[in-house]
Amino acid sequence: MKVLLIAGDRLGEYDPLTANGVTAGLQFGEVTILAAGPNAQNKAQQAAQIPGVNRVFLATHPALQSLAVENLSLLIHHLTPSFDVIIGLTSTFGSDLIPRAAALANCSPVTGVSAILDRHTVIRPIHAGAVLAAISLAKTPIFLTIRPSAFIAATTSQQGKPTPITAIDQGFESNLSQHIKHSPSTNSRPDPVSARVVVAGGGGMHAGGSFELVEKLADRMGAGVGASRTAVDMGLASNDMQIGQTGRVIAPEIYIGLGISGAIQHLAGIKDARMIVSINNDANAPLHGAADYALTADIFTAVPELLKK
Ligand SMILES: Cc1cc2nc3c(=O)[nH]c(=O)nc-3n(C[C@H](O)[C@H](O)[C@H](O)COP(=O)(O)OP(=O)(O)OC[C@H]3O[C@@H](n4cnc5c(N)ncnc54)[C@H](O)[C@@H]3O)c2cc1C
């Protein structure tokens, strides 16, 4: 089968999780990567280093120089007849793009794929991860977004020839959508999706009136900061920090939950973390049950002690 993988975009930069998409794509067949959007040239060069990639397409048309996925989905639509499977990452960018491209081809996308059983069957978690649905892919073209954390990255090759890069958007025209402004949040901490360690705060932080303790511990550990929905709803954390079913799905080496109960919707976003640590004053908190290390303590006492040590 022929696979078109859309290189991931993270706020205009190359998303290294593209290499995880290659691992997924190779399970179907020959992988071509499409590098487009801001910094397409750099994305193409990075993509060309990933082993196992057959071709890299580079699209530098001015209409594609922004995060305007409306224009990019039209380019994908032009390319769709040459491919059997079109794959994007389950990220803000991929989740915006792939359903649009699928709709143009009159297809239904399968989103949030966590495993590929064979070329005709994929797994996607549903009901906040409580059920794994096996989806049969009856006909091509197939449109998927894959959860990058569920696939190991194809390691970037240091030696060997990079994959050839071909410019493909000559003659492409679209003015459907224009990018006006881009206001990234000013956060110097690692992004929780790619951070090795994530410290997350929940409703238990409310008594402190801020997220200061969470941030202090995160900064001490060089960690990303996450939040439960309750913490976001309380105004303690911003929306983009929410982890869980309706937030972001993370898979860090270490996740530390401070004053987080561990509702199923939150667990859906952290179940791939390699080590879960919970600090909660309720010994029966569900997050304690899911944790490798559970400390029953008041966060306002335990975290300052941790910081001292
Ligand atoms: C459709 C749907 C989607 C949802 N999506 C998400 C999602 O994506 N992400 C998400 O997180 N939630 C989501 N939720 C909400 C979810 O059901 C929970 O309400 C939420 O996760 C609870 O957050 P919390 O555990 O931080 O807050 P609470 O439920 O308020 O729990 C606070 C915890 O802190 C502990 N605590 C309090 N004070 C202290 C202290 N001083 N020291 C130590 N521990 C303390 C308490 O014992 C308690 O366990 C969703 C809900 C629905 C219905």
**CA 49 – CA 155 distance, rounded (Å):** 9
Percent of the chain exceeding pLDDT 90 equals 72
What is residue 157's predicted lDDT score, i.e. its pLDDT?
A: 58
Task: Give the rounded percent of residues in the chain with a pLDDT score beyond 70.
Answer: 97
Are 286 and 202 in contact by the 8 Å Cβ rule? The answer is no
| Over residues 43-71, mean pLDDT | 89
Extract the runs of DSSP E, i.e. beta strands, from 51-137. 53-58, 85-89, 110-113, 115-118, 121-126, 131-136
pLDDT at 156: 63
Mean pLDDT of all residues belonging to the chain = 92
Q: Which of 249, 260, 276 to mutate to test the pocket of ligand 1 (most atoms within 8 A of CB)?
A: 260
Q: Which run of H or of E encompasses 33?
A: strand 30-35
Tell me the pLDDT tens digit for each residue of 242-299.
999 888 888 899 999 999 999 999 999 998 899 999 999 999 999 999 999 999 999 9
Give the per-residue pLDDT at 183.
74
Strand order in the sheet with 121-126: 115-118, 121-126, 131-136
d(Cα 122, Cα 144) in Å, to the nearest integer? 9
- 232 CA to middle of ligand 1, Å? 10
Mutate to test the pocket of ligand 1, among 280, 287, 288, 303 (most ligand atoms within 8 A of CB): 280
pLDDT at 109: 97
Residue whose entry in the numeric block shows the structure tokens 């989806």: 135
Quickly count: other Cβ atoms within 10 Å of residue 90's Cβ: 25
Q: How far apart are CA 36 and CA 9, in angstroms?
A: 9
CA gap 134, 15 in Å, rounded:
28
Does residue 160 register a pLDDT over 70? Answer: no
Identify the pLDDT of residue 175: 74
| Residue 205 to residue 149: CA distance in whole angstroms | 28
CA 73 – CA 98 distance, rounded (Å): 7
pLDDT category at 166 given cuts 50, 70, 90 is very high
Q: Options 1.10.10.1200, 3.40.50.620, 1.10.1060.10, 3.40.50.80; which CATH number does 2-167 get?
A: 3.40.50.620
Judge whether residue 129 has pLDDT over 90.
Answer: no
Residue 115 CA neighbour count, 13 Å, CB half:
6
Cβ atoms within 10 A of the Cβ of 301, count? 11
For the chain, what is the radius of gyration of the CA atoms?
A: 21
In this structure, which amino acid lies at residue 267?
Answer: L
> Where are the chain's structural domains?
2-167, 197-308
Are 145 and 90 spatial neighbours (Cβ–Cβ below 8 Å)?
Answer: yes
Region of poorest pLDDT, from 129-138, 170-179, 263-272: 170-179
Cα angle 208-184-91, degrees, rounded to a multiple of 5: 95
Encode pLDDT of 203-222 as tens digits.
999 998 899 999 999 999 99
Mean pLDDT computed over 33-44: 92
Higher pLDDT, 204 or 131: 204
If you measure from the C-alpha of residue 293 to the centroid of ligand 1, how many angstroms do you get, rounded to a whole number? 19
> What is the CB neighbour count within 10 angstroms for residue 82?
10
For the domain 197-308, what is the CATH code? 3.40.50.1220
Main-chain dihedrals φ then ψ at residue 300, nearest 5 degrees? -75, -10
Mean pLDDT of 185-190: 78
Domains 2-167 and 197-308 share a fold: yes
| 95 Cα: distance to centroid of ligand 1 (angstroms) | 25
Query: Sorting pLDDT into bands at 50, 70 and 90, what band is 23?
Result: very high
Mutate to test the pocket of ligand 1, among 230, 278, 303, 306 (most ligand atoms within 8 A of CB): 230
If you average pLDDT over residues 52-65, what whole number do you get? 90
Q: Hey, how many other C-beta atoms are within 10 angstroms of the C-beta on 304?
A: 13
Asked if the model's pLDDT at residue 173 lies above 90, the reply is no
Q: Report yes or no: 214 and 258 within 8 Å, Cβ to Cβ.
A: yes
Q: Which of 108-117, 125-134, 137-146, 210-219 has the lowest mean pLDDT?
A: 125-134
Q: pLDDT value at position 159?
A: 55
Binding pocket residue ranges, ligand 1, CB within 6 Å = 202-204, 207, 228-231, 242-247, 259-261, 263, 265-266, 269, 280-282, 285, 298-300
User: What pLDDT is attached to residue 45?
Assistant: 95
Give dist(CA 274, CA 252) in Å, integer: 7
Nearest protein CA to atom 23 of ligand 1, as residue = 230
Regarding predicted confidence, which is higher, 85 or 184?
85
Closest CA to 2 of 33, 34, 28: 28
Quick one: CA torsion of 148, 152, 154, 159, rounded to 10 degrees?
A: 130
